Chains A and B, each alone.
Chain A
Amino acid sequence: MRQALLLFTLLAFVLAGCNGGTVDQHALDNDSESIDSLACEGALLAGEIANTASLTNFSRVHAGELYTRAANFEDALSTRPTTPGIEKAVRAEAKKAGRIAALFDQLAADPSNPALAAKLEPQFTKQGGCT
């Protein structure tokens, strides 16, 4: 019984401990990597829409999901307190997340438009520094 209680306590601890708090260099590095990853996935998705065919519902829903993730990073990094010396970098990362979110917003709004996707693909690539 004690083991089960311990399991519950740890679960509550872990779930409650997610998100929020001060942004330090480690958190910034992780978030920056995740934001770049979103942009690179945007480039891949846009490339598929531009060059081959994709299911419209899939493209709209998936671009919308990636938009939400990028927008969440923008919100969090714009407002969360930071450790000294890195605030400028954190806010810059928030702006980058916002630019990526805006690109996803355009893609989700018109997911069956190859010309638009072709225009957005290099912008995603540039934002994420994708290879």
Chain B
Amino acid sequence: MKIFQVALGILAAIGGFVDIGDLVFNSAAGATFGYQLLWVVVIGVIGIIVYSEMCGRIAAISKKAVFDVVRERVGFKAGLVTLIAAQVVNLMTLAAEVGGVAICLRLLSGLPYRWLILVAVFGLGAVVWITSFDWIERIFGYGGLCMLVFAVAAIKLKPDWGAVAHGFVPHLETKDTLLYFYFAVGLLGAAMTPYEVYFYSSGGIEEEWTEKDLGLNRANAIIGYGLGGFLSFALMIVGGALFLPHGIGPETLGSISLGAQVPLGEIGLLLALIGILFAVGGASIDTLFSGAYNFAQFFGWEWGRYRSPAGAPRFTLGWMVLLVLALGIVMTGVDPVQLTEYAVIFSVVALPLTYLPILLVANDRAYMGRYVNGRLANVLGGIYLVVILAVSLSAIPLMLLTNVGQG
């Protein structure tokens, strides 16, 4: 039973970790710098594991999700700033993911994009309304596993494995230093997007974790995000082995899917499209829930999918309003891929406001009792906070200086 529960967590993490932002940044980083930036994915994955484990532990022990903690630890005013920043980024990400779902459906069906945006929004709304939390994890997690086709594609493309290994060591072999750092910041932002911890900690409460589930929490965080990171490596290797030598900058989900078609043919393409559809669909639901969780936790409303919609009416209204707003944004014709690039960079700015309260509460015996952070978690948490702060200060200047990564 425990193994099954871990498997569910792993599947949910894969579906949630590899969203449209990861797809775009990892493929584009590979196409621009080859394997040079693989080390950044490692840093991002360790960071999200450290903080997810922490907020999962907080959820299991104190029964508080991230925004309960933010409100209690930083006060109403600073908490409100965090909430606004988080919700702006969440909404941008949600709109980008919904657009991504519509693009995938269009690549599969050939039907008009705007109609498919409506199909995506109503489909996601129906899934959230009808389906239980467990089944949402299963559907999108299992579907997202098709993304493993990119790992097979990466191997089939026969990359220079020596160069791949060298990519795990930080180094700089380019004259375009600013662009290199822009991608490094984007990759870190994509790996540590705040909605992942909002969703993860609230999910722990939805699943009624207790101190008995701390091992499960650790396994979910390490294996789940580890596998997510593995897929990110695969996407970057495909970018470096296929797109870079051909002089292609993959800027669309169709281009990214070609990365599986070239080495694996039609079946590779089909699996890639299905995998992307479920991964991006899963991320849509993660961001949708995260937005509603954040509002409800901050303002003290009833929340959770384990309650009926009538049992948590403001939470239900919250996700519905967010879905309608996302629909409005995507319907303007904004390019979801471009939107996700902005969302990832702006999410970096919101990172310290999210992660600092988690670190503080994980060290607070009043909340955590004997389950406060150990030395390793504190050292890593502290180092990552410094990294996050440096990255958040440089994100927007780098975006402006590199013309959003266009050089």
A binding-site residues for B, Cβ under 8 Å: 1, 3-4, 7-8, 10-11, 14-15, 18, 30, 33-34, 36-37, 40-41, 43-45, 48, 52-58, 60-62, 65-66, 69, 128-131
- Contact yes or no, B346 A58, CB < 8 A: no
Residue B109 at the A interface, CB < 8 A? yes
State the interface size on chain B (CB cutoff 8 A).
Answer: 40
User: Within the assembled complex, what's the spacing in Å between the Cα atoms of A42 and B109?
Assistant: 21
- Contact yes or no, B404 A14, CB < 8 A: yes
Main secondary structure of the interface of B (DSSP, over half): helix
- Contact yes or no, A48 B407, CB < 8 A: no
Residue B394 at the A interface, CB < 8 A? no
- Contact yes or no, B258 A1, CB < 8 A: no
- Contact yes or no, B404 A3, CB < 8 A: no
- Contact yes or no, A62 B107, CB < 8 A: yes
- When C-beta atoms are compared, the residue in chain A nearest to B349 turns out to be A7
Residue B80 at the A interface, CB < 8 A? yes
Residue B252 at the A interface, CB < 8 A? yes
Chain B residues numbered 268-304 whose CB sits less than 8 Å from any CB in chain A: 269-270, 273
Residue B77 at the A interface, CB < 8 A? yes
- Contact yes or no, B110 A54, CB < 8 A: no
User: Within the assembled complex, what's the spacing in Å between the Cα atoms of A113 and B161?
Assistant: 37
State the Cβ distance, B371 to closest chain A Cβ, in Å. Answer: 32
Given the complex, which residues of A lie within 8 Å of B396, measured CB to CB?
10
Residue B406 at the A interface, CB < 8 A? yes
- Contact yes or no, A58 B269, CB < 8 A: yes
State the Cβ distance, B272 to closest chain A Cβ, in Å. Answer: 10
B binding-site residues for A, Cβ under 8 Å: 77, 80-81, 84-85, 88, 106-110, 245-252, 254-255, 257-258, 261-262, 265-266, 269-270, 273, 342, 346, 349, 396, 399-400, 403-404, 406-407
16 new A-B contacts, CB < 8 A, other than A61-B107, A61-B110, are A3-B81, A4-B81, A4-B88, A14-B342, A18-B404, A40-B248, A48-B258, A48-B261, A52-B266, A55-B108, A56-B110, A57-B110, A58-B108, A58-B254, A62-B257, A130-B247
User: Within the assembled complex, what's the spacing in Å between the Cα atoms of A18 and B335?
Assistant: 13
Q: Please name the 9 residue pairs, one residue from A and one from B, whose CB atoms are nearest each other, closest first.
A: A57-B110, A62-B254, A4-B84, A53-B266, A37-B249, A41-B248, A40-B247, A52-B265, A58-B107
Given the complex, which residues of B lie within 8 Å of A66, measured CB to CB?
252, 254
User: Within the assembled complex, what's the spacing in Å between the Cα atoms of A129 and B247?
Assistant: 9
User: Within the assembled complex, what's the spacing in Å between the Cα atoms of A8 and B106?
Assistant: 32
State the Cβ distance, B363 to closest chain A Cβ, in Å. Answer: 25
User: Within the assembled complex, what's the spacing in Å between the Cα atoms of A52 and B404?
Assistant: 36
- Contact yes or no, B269 A54, CB < 8 A: yes
- Contact yes or no, B248 A58, CB < 8 A: no
Given the complex, which residues of B lie within 8 Å of A41, measured CB to CB?
246, 248, 250, 255, 258
- Contact yes or no, B265 A53, CB < 8 A: yes
Given the complex, which residues of A lie within 8 Å of B81, measured CB to CB?
1, 3-4
User: Within the assembled complex, what's the spacing in Å between the Cα atoms of A62 and B262?
Assistant: 15
- Contact yes or no, B246 A40, CB < 8 A: yes
Given the complex, which residues of A lie within 8 Å of B407, measured CB to CB?
30
List 17 A-B pairs, Cβ < 8 Å. A4-B81, A4-B84, A7-B85, A14-B404, A18-B404, A30-B407, A33-B249, A40-B246, A44-B258, A48-B261, A55-B266, A55-B269, A55-B270, A65-B254, A66-B252, A130-B247, A131-B245
- Contact yes or no, A37 B248, CB < 8 A: yes
Q: A57-B110, A58-B257, A62-B252 are in contact. Are A7 and B247 (CB under 8 A)?
A: no
Given the complex, which residues of B lie within 8 Å of A128, measured CB to CB?
247
State the Cβ distance, A77 to closest chain B Cβ, in Å. Answer: 15
